[in-house]
Structures are given as C-alpha cells and as structure tokens.
C-alpha cells in the first residue's frame, strides 16, 4: 500500500501541474476520486454519485441523458496520461483512472534505468573485513556525530521572525496563501467558518419556501439545508488550512451568536440573504447585497456598487431566472471584527455558485497572487481591509474561472 500522505501529496502535485491546474472541474473530480479510493479501497463509484456530489447535478439526474460524468472522467484519464508522459515522467507515484471504472489506481513507478547488480571488488571485501575489526571506531564516530547535531540544534535560533506565520506547516503552503491567510492563522485559537443555512418553512417532501417574519411563526422554521457551493467551499477552506497546519471550526449560521463575533476570527460563507448572521455584524460598505424593487429584475438579489468607478456597472446580477444559468457574482470582503483584534472575511455570492467561486478564488495561489498585487501587498506586509467583486462563470452547474472585476481598499 502506498502511504496515504504521499499519495495525497501526489494528488496536490497533479492539481497544481501545468497540465491540470487550469481545469477546476477536473481537479475537483481528481481530489474526490482520490479521497474515495483511499477511504474506500476497491469500492466502486456510481455515475449518479459523482454527478450530484462533484458536479452539482440535481437529484433527478439521469446518466442516460446527461453524460457529464463520463465526459469529465474521459478528460481526466487523458490528462493523467499527458502529465505522466511529460512533466510527471520522473514521479515515483503514478495515478491512473482505468477504463470502465471511476476508482483511481495508485502504484509506484519502476525505475526507468534499473541499476546493474552490485558485485563487490577485492578492495571492497578487504574494507568489509577491516570494518568488522573496528566496531569501537564506529561507535566513537557515531557519538561524535550525535554531539555535533545536538550542538547545531542548540545554536540555532528557537523563534521565528515576528512577522512570520506562526504555523508549523507554513512551508507547505505557497507564499501568497500564507500572506493572505496570516490574520486567521497567527492567533492561537482556530478561526470559525460560519456557513449559511437559510430559514425555510415547510418540508422537502411537501415543498419549502423562505421564512417570512411578517406572517410565519418562528417555531415552524426549518433550517437544516445549505447550498452545494457552501459544502464544497468548506471543503476547500479545510484543504488550505490543512496546508497551513491550522485547524478550523465549522458552525452553521443559525447557531452563531454575537459572543462568537467578539471572541473569534470569522470566515462567513454565503450571502446575507441566507447567512442571516451577517445582518447582525458590520459588513461590506462598497458592495452590498440588496433585492431589486423597481426594475425588470424586481425581487432578484443583486450586489449594488455604492460608488461605481468608470466602466463599472451600478449592479452586479447573476443570470436571470428566465435564462440558462451561466454566470454569478460574489463579494470578497476582509475587515476588522466587532473586536478590532479579530478579523472577518466574507465570501458570499448571490447564489451558491458565486459563493463557491469566491472561496475557490481565495484558496488558489494564482488568484490570490493577483489580488495581493492589486492591493500592493508583499510578503513583508500585512493584509489590509478591502472589498472585491468576483465574476464567476457557471458551466453545467459548476463554477469556473472566477475573475476579479472590482476592488476597493477600506479605510480602517
């Protein structure tokens, strides 16, 4: 069996490779299949399960009509072969997706140039005989070597520079991610991830709608659901904080309290329309969520641009309900909390797809590098408060290519 940690390291290397890193959907599929193969060896995966859990297909998904899973698996199989034929030609662990199955296979690559069997020479044999007669010398050498190592350890500095991220695994995460997430890993306590779970009335089997405080009793609220994007977003955040060697604490919005806001660093996942706790704390000021009233999109949730810059729209709107859903927008906002010693990060789309896209943006090295560059933040600087709008394309129910379209620095 190949070591689990080494295998997951190979999966990370594949996802970051030139061959795969540009395809978010394939990387997501690769990670999903890898975790399943490691957690459930030789247990087959159903096409329906992949379609609904990875690609966000609805519960009535029919694999006979929609070939998404088969197409994506075929693309992944081709990309894996392409990777190992080029940039991964020297990798020791090979990941394959055999035809006719959705279960990944892992194996060690045999050396491409096997070494010739070693034949000891006469001089070697003489050295071996001599070594048997010098055990005391070997022991003495080992003791001296050990003493030297202890001396080096003693002389090394025992603390990091003040502005270094105080996390044991900071070398595992790219520098850009270390800078961006520093406010959430530098404190001793773990940051809290607060995900949205909207208040509904009704039941899934009979129909549900949003809770209306003007006409619905509070004791009939049904708040057991969240979006697919929120679920995958929490997974992405967990992956990043694992690289930073920092645990996170996950809590649903309906259980959040103002005491939590005072005492913890917070990461909100989901818009104020569903993550209602955002309405109770200071939020974004330049890009705010509002439902439109006097327009052809009346009732739709929009991100209102309070102070539009030249070339920027006054409102950012997802695809209309009367059209195929192919785009969404999201807000990324970093600010100080109600307690100025704490940090708050808001990752919120007008729909669950935008939320997922916003989280993917701040969990990906290349996009975070772009954001830090736009904010003129180097590795030596602290992340400063800002608000941004992200445009997210949606293809077959999967958010792809999140793009920064508006940015404001906040005055403390």
Per-domain residue ranges for the chain?
4-108, 170-409
Q: Of 144-158, 224-238, 254-268, where does mean pLDDT reach its minimum?
A: 144-158
Query: If 0-12 CB within 10 Å is exposed, 13-18 middle and 19+ buried, where does residue 242 land?
Result: middle
- What fold is seen in the domain 4-108? Arc Repressor Mutant, subunit A (1.10.10)
What CA–CA distances, in Å, run from 20 to 9, 13, 136, 182, 286? 15, 10, 55, 27, 35
pLDDT tens, position by position, 178-191: 999 999 998 888 99
Q: Is 249 helix (H, G, I), strand (E, B) or coil?
A: strand
pLDDT tens, position by position, 344-367: 999 999 998 999 999 999 999 999
148 band by pLDDT with thresholds 50, 70 and 90: very low
Q: In which residue are the tokens 């530098």 written?
A: 186
303 band by pLDDT with thresholds 50, 70 and 90: very high
Q: Which is nearest to 313 in space by CA: 284, 287, 283?
A: 287
Where do the DSSP E strands lie in 187-339?
192-195, 200-203, 207-210, 221-222, 249-252, 266-269, 287-291, 301-305, 315-316, 327-336
- The pLDDT of residue 142: 46
Residue 93, both tokens: 């662990």
- Judged against a pLDDT cut of 60, whether residue 165 lies above it is answered with no
| E strand or H helix at 95 | strand 93-96
| E strand or H helix at 36 | helix 24-39
**How much of the chain is helix, strand and coil, in % rounded to 5?**
35, 20, 45
Residue 232, both tokens: 């995958």
Check residue 116 and report its DSSP letter.
P
What CA–CA distances, in Å, run from 67 to 48, 64, 118, 233? 10, 7, 54, 25
Do 249 and 256 form a contact (C-beta atoms < 8 A)?
no
Number of CB atoms found within 10 A of residue 73's CB: 21
Asked if CATH classification 3.30.379.10 holds for the domain at 170-409, the reply, yes or no, is yes
Q: Of 90-99, 101-110, 235-244, where does mean pLDDT reach its minimum?
A: 101-110
Q: Which is nearest to 54 in space by CA: 22, 26, 95?
A: 26
Q: Of 63-67, 134-138, 156-160, 205-209, where does mean pLDDT reach its minimum?
A: 156-160
CA 279-285-286 angle, 5° bins: 135
Residue 72, both tokens: 């994506």
- What integer best gives the mean pLDDT of the chain? 80
- Judged against a pLDDT cut of 90, whether residue 267 lies above it is answered with yes
- The pLDDT of residue 204: 76
Residue 150, both tokens: 């202890």
Query: What mean pLDDT comes out for the span 299-314?
Result: 90
Query: What mean pLDDT comes out for the span 71-77?
Result: 91
Centroid of chain to Cα 296: 36
Q: Which is nearest to 316 in space by CA: 324, 211, 325, 306?
A: 306
- Judged against a pLDDT cut of 60, whether residue 109 lies above it is answered with yes
Do 397 and 55 form a contact (C-beta atoms < 8 A)?
yes
**284/304 Cα distance (integer angstroms):** 11
Check residue 383 and report its DSSP letter.
P
Q: In which residue are the tokens 């569903």 written?
A: 274
Q: How many CA atoms lie within 13 A of 312 on its CB side?
A: 22
- Judged against a pLDDT cut of 80, whether residue 412 lies above it is answered with no
């Amino acid at each position: 069996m190949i070591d689990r940690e080494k295998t997951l390291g190979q999966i990370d290397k594949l996802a970051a490779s030139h061959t795969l890193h540009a395809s978010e959907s394939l990387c997501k599929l690769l990670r999903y299949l890898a975790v399943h193969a490691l957690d459930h060896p030789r247990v087959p995966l159903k096409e329906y399960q992949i379609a609904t859990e990875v690609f966000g297909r609805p519960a009535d998904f029919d694999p006979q009509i929609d070939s998404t899973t088969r197409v994506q698996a075929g693309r992944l199989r081709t990309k894996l072969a392409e990777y190992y034929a080029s940039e991964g030609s020297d990798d020791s662990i090979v990941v394959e997706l055999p035809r006719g199955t959705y279960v990944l296979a892992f194996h060690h690559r045999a050396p491409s140039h096997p070494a010739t069997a070693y034949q000891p020479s006469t001089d070697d044999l003489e050295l071996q005989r001599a070594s048997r007669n010098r055990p005391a010398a070997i022991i003495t050498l080992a003791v001296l070597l050990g003493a030297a190592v202890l001396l080096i350890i003693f002389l090394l500095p025992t603390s990091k520079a003040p502005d270094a991220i105080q996390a044991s695994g900071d070398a595992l995460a790219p520098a850009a991610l270390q800078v961006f997430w520093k406010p959430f890993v530098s404190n001793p306590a773990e940051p809290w991830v607060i995900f949205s779970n909207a208040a509904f009335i009704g039941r899934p089997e009979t129909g549900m709608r949003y809770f209306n405080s003007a006409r619905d009793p509070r004791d009939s609220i049904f708040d057991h659901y969240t979006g697919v994007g929120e679920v995958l977003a929490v997974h992405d955040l967990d992956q990043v904080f694992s690289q930073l060697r920092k645990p996170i604490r996950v809590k649903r919005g309906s259980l959040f309290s103002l005491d939590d806001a005072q005492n913890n660093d917070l990461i909100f996942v989901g818009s104020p329309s569903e993550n209602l706790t955002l309405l109770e704390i200071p939020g974004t000021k330049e890009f705010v969520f509002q439902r439109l009233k006097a327009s052809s999109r009346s009732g739709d949730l929009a991100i209102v641009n309070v102070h539009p810059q030249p070339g920027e729209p006054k409102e950012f709107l997802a695809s209309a309900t009367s059209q195929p859903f192919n785009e969404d927008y999201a807000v990324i906002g970093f600010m100080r909390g109600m307690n100025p010693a704490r940090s708050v990060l808001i990752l919120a789309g007008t729909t669950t797809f935008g939320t997922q896209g916003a989280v993917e943006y701040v969990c990906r090295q290349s996009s975070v590098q772009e954001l830090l560059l736009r904010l003129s933040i180097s590795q030596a600087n602290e992340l400063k408060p800002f608000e941004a709008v992200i445009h997210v394309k949606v293809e077959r129910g999967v958010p792809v290519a999140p793009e920064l379209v508006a940015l404001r620095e906040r005055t403390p």
